[in-house]
Amino acid sequence: MSNVFRRKTDVLIIGSGIAGCTAALILAEKGFDILMISAGKMGEDGNSVLAQGGIIYRGEDDDPELLERDILTAGWNMNYSKAVKFLATKGPEVVKELLIEKLKVPFSKKNDHLLFTKEGGHSKKRIIFCADHTGKTIMEYLTSQLKKYPNIHILDNSSAIDILTTHHHSLSLELKYQLKNQCVGAYVYNDNTHAVETILADFTVIATGGVGQIFLHTTNSTFAFGSGITMAYRAGARILNAEFIQFHPTALFHRSERKFLISEALRGEGARLVNSKGEPFMHKYDSRGDLAPRDIVTRAIVEEMFSTGEECVYLDVANFVKKDIKERFPTIYKKCKEVGIDIEKEPIPVVPAAHYFCGGILVDLKGRTTIDRLYAAGECTCTGVHGANRLASTSLLESVLWGYSVAKDIIKRFDTGSKLSKKILSSMPDWEFSGTKENEDPALIAQDWALIKHIMWNYVGIIRTTSRLKRAFEDLRQLNKRLNEFYKETMISRSIIHLFHAAQTAYIITTFAVKNKKSIGCHFRKN
């Protein structure tokens, strides 16, 4: 293979969810040249479009301090207080400015007033929503706006391979001796042309989302396997809190590649978790009952399943929700109906599934990473907001706020003339094709994926032990060693890139889990 392309842009955004799109929109308005990389199709794939519940705003009897308190409680006080305060005070302002006033996202209203709902861990009704398809609707309005800008260029079906940095890739010896490591862009595999593109950028933003696909059961999209985290890790960026994986308590118990999320908003509207006898059980585990934080509800469900020997528990909507279920939750109603469940008459079978990554690439309040010119936003980051466990509906708010903040900081740096020098740009080599063998066997790749998913689910899942983590660490170390050799000798392809990223993500998370001996939040250790 010899197809190599080289291009230069002002800002490279790897990822096309709410965080990446927010940053792109703010930057495009100022006239910057933007190149966006989407692993799937822009606006249709990724976790953002799957978000059902809503986004935090500010309720009528609410204030930032109350929200801060709820976030800290849910996060087991392992949160970064400055980031929590920033989200609680600045977040609603950006929602108003960008989503409500600029984009005019049609959040649900009654008599021209926004409707608010409450979810687990919240002390007030402060979440606004678009029925049960909030993420999808926000993404539709964002992408529609982005299409108006000719200075935004989108590469669909493309996978970033590696972050380009002065320390790791530059051919200039002088740059390697400098203490400051600078990001200069990325190598990107374009599945449409089967070419590797060298994309040089003054600033690069990682917004690749979560990691759920490395687990056997997940609510996440196909492309959520931590590619941005592994690229940042290999480049030397600091990763933090990677052991904290939030498992959503209620995913539809049905055989499918991706578990369908049954939103916590149902419980916010009164739905109750019950066992196979129809008996509510959450009060046995926590005084907050069905609206306890997610880590507590998830473990309660697992304990209940163990004690009853059942494969799932049930969410009773019909007997407890007083609103028009079809109108308030049309997506959930339709999906359940497709698999033969009428939620207006019968309970929904549910099980926990890997849902949200609370750790990731460490960033400050501006979205800056520990590598110069490299930013990150959204679920792939560790802002410090979530601590040891995420409070419901903080994720969309965090993505919008940090996407906005990243763009604002990049604009300021451009204003001060912070463009890359020609010397740095010219020192970056194009991708070298080391692999020559055409031995990409789909059966082998499928087996390696299955191995990763089963290891992570069984050993690094909801309940962890020292022996399980040790087994996972050893197995994943061997797998990564083997894949490294395979990766170097085999011709590059989309499926190999994805597998390589996934295996490294699993290894990083397991390493963090092994090191943290304390059982806290989503990192629950029996011993």
Enzyme catalytic residues:
294
Assign 3-class secondary structure to 441-487. Answer: CHHHHHHHHHHHHHHHHHHCCCCECHHHHHHHHHHHHHHHHHHHHHH
Strand (E) or helix (H) holding 86: helix 81-94
Report how far residue 449's alpha carbon sits from residue 455's, in angstroms, rounded to the nearest whole number: 10
Residues 6+ apart with CB under 8 A from 246: 294, 295, 355, 356, 357, 358, 389, 390, 522
DSSP states of 176-243 as a string? HHSS--BEEEEEEEETTTTEEEEEEEEEEEE-----GGGSSSBSS-TT-S-HHHHHHHHHT--EE-TT
Cα maximum dimension of the chain: 71
Please report, for residues 8, 38, 87, 101, 239, the alpha-carbon distance to residue 190 in angstroms, rounded to integers and kept in the order given: 16, 10, 36, 36, 27
Place of tokens 């740059």: 175
Bridge partners for 154 per DSSP: 36
CA angle 520/367/122 to nearest 5° reads 45
Tokens representing residue 196 in the block: 């590797």
Strand (E) or helix (H) holding 164: strand 158-165
Long-range own/partner contacts, residues 438-443 (CB < 8 A, 24 or more apart): 438/490, 438/491, 439/489, 439/490, 440/490, 440/491, 440/493, 440/495, 440/496, 442/495
Place of tokens 């309005």: 141
Inter-residue contact 79 to 148 (CB < 8 Å) = no
Specify the 3-state DSSP secondary structure of 132: coil
Report how far residue 383's alpha carbon sits from residue 375's, in angstroms, rounded to the nearest whole number: 12
Specify the 3-state DSSP secondary structure of 248: strand
Report how far residue 239's alpha carbon sits from residue 448's, in angstroms, rounded to the nearest whole number: 25
Assign 3-class secondary structure to 260-275. Answer: CECCCHHHHCCCEEEC
Residues 6+ apart with CB under 8 A from 63: none
Report how far residue 15's alpha carbon sits from residue 35's, in angstroms, rounded to the nearest whole number: 10
Report how far residue 284's alpha carbon sits from residue 518's, in angstroms, rounded to the nearest whole number: 24
